[in-house]
Structure 1
């Protein structure tokens, strides 16, 4: 399924900067779960094409609701929420001695051994600053092999470029290392199976999963995956991925401090050209350590380590222009919505709404 055409992401504006100043001036509120707040957030969501919401606090599900026909068994597209699977796979592969995040991509792929590609690293692929731009293709996308010969459109490490191709390229890296095992099989056996969760896939032209935006999952399974990240790879008394590796997931990219290793970070954007439409940090009640997986249609997996909090939001792939991450999170926290357009339903202010994340589809 391809997402409907959506507007380009907003850029940092003077109005957005004023919200950032407000955020810096007000200390984050502690999270005190209240049923009426959860219901208000769910109502806000369902009025804006949302249909599934789960809140997990300190390892316990404190809220779960669905709008029919969706239910706990409904498998829904994650769109670019899929991307974070790649960062976690990278941590697992490093723990297994298969790769190092700072290895050059060319160590594993011959197509990346010459010219400016020779200096690009796996970390830069997953931080979207390898120089490889988007090849389009929506949620389906071209075959993995077809993107390996694509030229870079920027020098590695100098420019953040949102898209699907870097993640399918990373998939090719992992398959080159595994030799006889597929990326999908490794992801399933190494991560999903120990957690008791599963995923379905929109596939590329070659039948491989679209790792930039083709994942599909129930809200419960996505929440379980988020809890696994929150617990830094520790699950039911076992260390699935060593805890000391998880700081790598939230290290800011050199060219975009709001993006980590395949996930969005709750840090102020600096400099032009940075999309801010998925910016919960603009709300003063949100802790600075919040990060998230996010996809088209306002698919969200918010994680707040300091408050042991995981929030899942799923919606139709057609974004509602009235959606705002700030408006949704404000209601979860039982706080007033600072965005009047979000309250009145007139649409989102620049930099505070939903829609497409960066320049890619989904």
Structure 2
């Protein structure tokens, strides 16, 4: 087959991406607005198919995305690993030598820091804007579980990762500058709200403020980088989370069951259950999501070439309900 014909055959033979129904979009938008929604942006095949703002929020107004911030640092980790600064399976204590004498902490890998199977206490106090020295505190975090055995969601591990990256960069540039150059600039984003402590260490677990259109650019980038999507596998402690992203993979299995992520995270780490967890059984199994407090959501669905951004002040966000409405095929 000649090159031009082969090129045309690729596109003509590719299966059509199933569009969302108008009824599904309208139902999801109404649900979002009724539950404290501030913005709903839906892009499919690179085009905006829905954009609405409600409850006093404006299109160009930056909005807190809370834990949606974590994914940007996850992508920073992928960039650093690709450049050979570290491997995900190397031990953190090879660089953070202070940990070498600790029976548990000495065994934690870089991957375990980023999929939250590290075993460190969460240390939610690190979220405080006035916290004086996040790095020193995080490095002293207690090891409350065997590495790889439990899912512990919290800021401590990410602050350790920041120090690990800083040492790997050997003062040639700061982790913030590395983030800006390797992640934010390719997304067309500038400097963000870092909430630094007294020593300049940013809060990696939260802090960024973006408009719906700005946050959607992360989704656009992810759709173009299948090699990154394939690495978001999660751990045996929680297969539904890795590198700041949640996945819906278990929705494609008979044993998959819906979990309200924010409600589950409100429990103590040892009371949480993530076995066969998914966000919504009615949504495609390849959906991945960034989840921030009070209903901040970025959903990415590669099989549908789809990006959904929701900004909100929702006291009880329900991923399963809104996604069920959105992916409804109508009457």
TM-score by length of 2: 0.80
1:126 aligns with 2:114: yes
Shift of residue 138, structure 1, vs aligned partner: 6.7
Hey, what does 1:145 align to over in structure 2? 136
**1:31 CA drift (Å):** 4.0
Q: CA deviation at 1:262?
A: 2.3
Residues 173, 138 of structure 1: CA spacing in aligned structure 2 closer, same or farther, 3 A cutoff?
Answer: closer
SS in 1 for 2:219: helix
1:280 aligns to what? 279
SS class of match (1:51): strand
Inter-partner Cα distance in structure 2 for 1:69 and 1:315: 11
- Summarize deviations over 1:216-261 as a string: whole Å, max 9, x none: 21111110011111211xxxxxxxxxx535422x112121122223
| Structure-1 separation of matches of 2:191 and 2:62 | 8
Aligned counterparts of 1:320 and 1:131: Cα–Cα separation in 2: 29
Residue of structure 1 in register with 2:180 after alignment: 188
- Of 179, 200, 210, the residue aligned with 1:217 is 210
Confirm or deny: 8 A CA contact 1:126 1:261 kept in the other structure. yes
User: Aligned partners of 1:199 and 1:139: how far apart in 2?
Assistant: 20
> What CA distance in whole angstroms lies between the structure 1 residues aligned with 2:84 and 2:179?
15
After superposition, the Cα gap between the structure-2 partners of 1:45 and 1:245, relative to the gap in structure 1 and judged at 3 Å, is closer
| Equivalent residue, structure 2, for 1:208 | 201
Would you say the 8 A contact 2:222–2:228 is kept in 1? no
Secondary structure, aligned partner of 2:241: coil
Gaps of 5+ in 2: 1-16, 251-255, 260-269
Q: How far does residue 202 in structure 1 lie from its aligned partner after superposition?
A: 4.9
Q: How many residues align?
A: 290
Tell me the SS of whatever aligns to 1:33: coil
Residue 291 of structure 1 pairs with residue 288 of structure 2: yes
For 1:97, the equivalent position in structure 2 comes to: 84
Question: Whole-Å Cα distance in 1 between the matches of residues 176 and 112 of structure 2?
Answer: 22
Whole-Å Cα distance in 1 between the matches of residues 74 and 288 of structure 2? Answer: 13
Aligned partner (choices 245, 249, 253) of residue 263 of structure 1: 245
- TM-score, with structure 1 as normaliser: 0.74
**Superposed displacement of residue 324, structure 1:** 1.7
Look up the match of 2:147: 156
Q: Deviations over 1:151-205 (max 9, x none)?
A: 2111111111111111111111111111221111111111111221235325143
Q: Which residue of 1 aligns with 2:267?
A: none
Between 263-272 and 204-213, the greater mean CA deviation after superposition: 263-272
2:233 is equivalent to residue 251 of structure 1: yes
- The equivalent of 1:135 in structure 2 is 123
More helix by share: 2
Structure 1 partner of 2:166: 175
Alignment deviations for residues 96-126 of structure 1 (CA, whole Å, 9 cap, x no partner): 1111111111122122222211110010000
Q: Is the radius of gyration larger for structure 1 or structure 2?
A: 2
Greater CA drift, 176-185 or 30-39: 30-39
Cα RMSD for the two superposed structures: 2.4
Q: Which residue in 2 is equivalent to 1:310?
A: 307
Kept in 1: contact 2:45–2:306 (CA 8 A): yes
Match of 2:321 in 1: 327
Cα pair 2:298 2:307 within 8 Å, conserved: yes
Q: Are the aligned partners of 2:238 and 2:274 in contact in 1 as well (CA < 8 Å)?
A: no
Aligned partner of residue 151 in structure 2, secondary structure: coil
Q: Note the residue ranges of structure 1 that are not aligned, 5 or more in a row.
A: 1-29, 233-242, 337-362
